């Protein structure tokens, strides 16, 4: 009898130990029930509608895999229409989209993504208690993808805002939104990376997470374990149109700075330096006498911009702005953009192998109402839109190729429009969308007007031979 009890007793001990281990492990996993119960009333569903002229579906006959856009906003009508729903040529059609948002003040101010409400003729907000209220667009900023809405209501439930600067990689986060119209869906994950730069967004240091995000989540809040909003879910990386493990959120500190300005006067004022920049490669760093490749290299300047007036020159490498280190070229637009126009900033730069200090008074972003500069005014982020950095072409090289203009491609951003088109560093870019390119500044000016509904031809010289490639820009 004793011999039979021993193995049975040992089995019971092992089972008890395993149960205790599983219980302890479960205690270490976060419990989001209280967070959801507290926060859900402050999250809203946003639906928009607009009337557009029907031109047919440009993606008709293509599968999701055929569409070359990598970064997709969660705006429903940016995806191919299902078979049988393509509009007939001519006439008009009402388009609808779904998104999310959250209440930031009890008197009816709501935050969401700019692309959720872009071009909307009507905006409806559905609250957690099932009330539907018509919303007014207070203002939106395309560069940060932030919009503020207002509904006529009072004593609304609000969400607590956190400090996105304190987020750490590996920290648990959760999202509440309306993916595919399923209201108040909750997903969770961890912070995968911070201060992430995306090809078309030079002004936002994105929070990267592995939280499951899908169309309809756009504009919804990202929470930390304390139930505080630390970000606005904005973009995903996808090849299929759905979640693939990479999602990106706008830090709440960035978003609230924009929201405060939108509530105050309906638009955003950001500092402007008036330069076109490019990354500093290891070879360039060595040629400039630098110990490491960092900073932002000035490839060109607006001759009437603050940088030129302050004494900056093409070839200068900006290393610091008011003591803040410029890690790479993507850092500079953020540091300058978050500084108020009219502010004098102290720049540390490398010129002719020597470090120098230079004070520059920032200007206001040109043509702010139209979302960016025109003519010879330089957009510090247009190179990010194209996914490349260029520089002037030497006269001897132009003569050798028998061309009057052209620019040299110095860097190509992985995953960007240029890389997808097959453009390589060292190529000479001669024309884009049938327009001759004469200088880096002129190329960046053209970039702001390029269409997103079709591929554009780009003429290149590579190894002394002329060739064309097709470039397709992602939708703004």
Answer whether 0.75 is exceeded by the pTM. Answer: no
> Which residue ranges of the chain lie beneath pLDDT 70?
1-11, 17, 19-27, 51-95, 199-200, 366-384, 474-476
Residue ranges matching CATH 2.30.42.10 in the chain: 271-370, 382-471
For CA atoms 252, 253, 259, 260, give the dihedral sign.
Answer: positive
pLDDT, position 92: 55
Spatial distance between the Cα atoms of 315 and 134, rounded to a whole number of angstroms? 52
Please state which CATH class domain 382-471 belongs to.
Answer: mainly beta
* Phi-psi category of residue 421: left, alpha or beta, with phi > 0 → left and psi -120 to 50 → alpha: alpha
Our answer to whether residue 218 is catalytic in this structure is yes
pLDDT, position 247: 94
The three-point CA angle 155-161-162 to 5° equals: 160
Which CATH number applies to 41-266: 2.40.10.120, 3.90.1150.10, 3.30.70.120, 3.40.50.10470? 2.40.10.120
Average pLDDT over all residues of the chain: 82
Selecting among 115, 201, 247, 391, the annotated active-site residue is: 115
The rounded percent of the chain whose pLDDT value lies above 70 is: 81
Q: Which CATH superfamily is domain 271-370 in?
A: PDZ domain (2.30.42.10)
Selecting among 141, 145, 300, 379, the annotated active-site residue is: 145
Selecting among 97, 178, 192, 218, the annotated active-site residue is: 218
DSSP string spanning 240-296? SSS--S-EEEEEHHHHHHHHHHHHHHSS---EE--EEEE---HHHHHHTT-SSS-SE
Our answer to whether residue 115 is catalytic in this structure is yes
Our answer to whether residue 434 is catalytic in this structure is no
pLDDT, position 68: 44
- Residue partners of 333: CB distance under 8 A and separation at least 6: 202, 203, 277, 380, 381
């Amino acid at each position: 009898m004793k011999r039979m009890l021993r193995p049975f007793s040992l089995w019971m001990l092992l089972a008890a130990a395993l149960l205790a281990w599983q219980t302890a492990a479960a205690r270490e996993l976060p419990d989001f029930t209280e967070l959801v119960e507290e926060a859900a009333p402050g999250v809203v569903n946003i639906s928009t509608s607009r009337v557009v002229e029907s031109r047919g579906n440009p993606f008709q006959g293509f599968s999701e895999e055929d569409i070359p856009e990598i970064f997709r906003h969660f705006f429903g009508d940016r995806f191919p229409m299902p078979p049988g729903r393509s509009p007939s040529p001519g006439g008009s059609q009402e388009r609808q989209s779904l998104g999310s948002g959250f209440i930031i003040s009890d008197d009816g101010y709501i935050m969401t993504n700019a692309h959720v409400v872009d071009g909307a003729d009507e905006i409806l907000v559905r609250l957690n208690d099932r009330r539907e209220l018509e919303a007014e667009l207070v203002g939106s900023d395309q560069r940060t993808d932030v919009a503020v809405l207002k509904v006529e209501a009072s004593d609304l439930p609000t969400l607590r805002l956190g400090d996105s600067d304190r987020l750490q990689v590996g920290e648990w986060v959760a999202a509440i939104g309306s993916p595919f119209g399923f209201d108040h869906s909750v997903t969770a994950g961890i912070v995968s990376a911070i201060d992430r730069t995306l090809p078309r967004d030079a002004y936002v240091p994105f929070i990267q997470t592995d939280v499951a995000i899908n169309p309809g989540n756009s504009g919804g809040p990202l929470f930390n374990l304390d139930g505080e909003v630390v970000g606005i879910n904005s973009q995903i990386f996808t090849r299929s149109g759905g979640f693939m493990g990479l999602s990106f959120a706008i830090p709440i500190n960035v978003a609230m700075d924009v929201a405060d300005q939108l509530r105050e006067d309906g638009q955003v004022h950001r500092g402007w330096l008036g330069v076109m920049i490019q990354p500093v490669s290891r070879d360039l760093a060595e040629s400039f006498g630098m110990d490491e490749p960092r900073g932002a290299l000035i490839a060109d300047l607006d001759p009437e911009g603050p940088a030129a007036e302050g004494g900056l020159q093409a070839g200068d490498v900006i290393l610091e702005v008011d003591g803040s280190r410029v890690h790479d070229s993507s850092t500079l637009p953020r540091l300058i953009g978050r500084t108020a126009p009219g502010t004098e900033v102290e720049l540390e730069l490398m010129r002719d192998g020597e470090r120098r200090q230079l004070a520059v008074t920032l200007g206001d972003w040109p043509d702010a109402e139209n979302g960016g500069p025109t003519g010879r005014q330089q957009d510090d982020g247009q190179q990010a839109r194209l996914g490349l950095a260029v520089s002037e072409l030497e006269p001897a090289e132009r003569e050798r190729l028998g061309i009057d203009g052209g620019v040299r491609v110095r860097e190509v951003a992985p995953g960007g429009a240029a890389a997808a088109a097959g453009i390589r560093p060292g190529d000479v870019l001669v024309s884009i969308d049938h327009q001759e390119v004469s200088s880096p500044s002129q190329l960046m000016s053209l970039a702001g007007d390029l269409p997103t509904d079709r591929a554009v031809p780009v003429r290149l010289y590579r190894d002394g031979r002329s060739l064309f490639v097709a470039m397709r820009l992602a939708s703004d």
